[in-house]
Amino acid sequence: MPTTIHLRPEDLQGIKATLESKVKAEVQAKGYKDVEVRDILPKTDLGLASDEWVVSIPSGATSVTVSKTLPNDTAIVFYGVALPTKDDVTVIRFRLGDAKIKEIYQVEIARALQNPIVYFEEGILYKPNEVMNIDVFAKTAGDKQVILLGVVAEPRGKTIVGTVE
C-alpha cells in the first residue's frame, strides 16, 4: 500500500507533471482532443457546499463522505492533503463506489509539521464515469478545513477556456 511522503518543491513539480499527463490521457481516451487540466474546485468538482475547502462532520459522528459520480468527460487525480488549521482530522479514505477502497491515509502527522501538507506516494486516479467517495475521519464533529491536492482534466471550455498553447 502506498504511503505518505515528504517532498521538496522540485520533486513535487515532476510528480505533478506526470499525474497531469495521466489524468489528461484518461479524458483524451474518451475522444476529447482539446483537454484542459486545472486545480480542483471543491463545489464544482466534489459537490461541497461552496468553493471553500471545508467539510462538516455532523454532531455525534466522526466522519463525513464526499461523494460524486464523475461525468463522461472528466477525470481527477489526487496527490496530497493540506490541513492548514491543524484540525483533528485523522484519516482520509478514497473509495471507488461504496465498497472498493483505493487508498487510505493516516494524516495526523500533518499537525506536527511546520508546513501541514502530506503528499501521497502515488496519485489516486478517478476515471470518467467512476463513483468517487472520499471519507474524512476526525476525532470530533464540526467544520474541518481539508484541502485535497489534485487536478481535474476536462474538455477545454467546460469550466474554463484555459491558455492557448
Q: For residue 139, is it left (φ>0), alpha (ψ between -120 and 50) or beta?
A: alpha
Domain membership of residue 128 (yes or no) is yes
- With beta carbons less than 8 A apart as the criterion, state whether 133 and 97 touch: yes
d(CA 29, CA 36): 14
Instruction: Give dist(CA 127, CA 146) in Å, integer.
Output: 22
**What's the pTM?**
0.88
Mind listing the pLDDT tens digit for each residue in 82-138? 888 877 899 999 999 998 999 998 888 877 777 778 888 889 999 999 999 999 999
How many domains, the chain? 1
The CATH number of residue 22's host domain is 2.60.120
Q: Does residue 137 sit within a domain? A: yes
The answer to whether residue 163 sits within a structural domain is: no
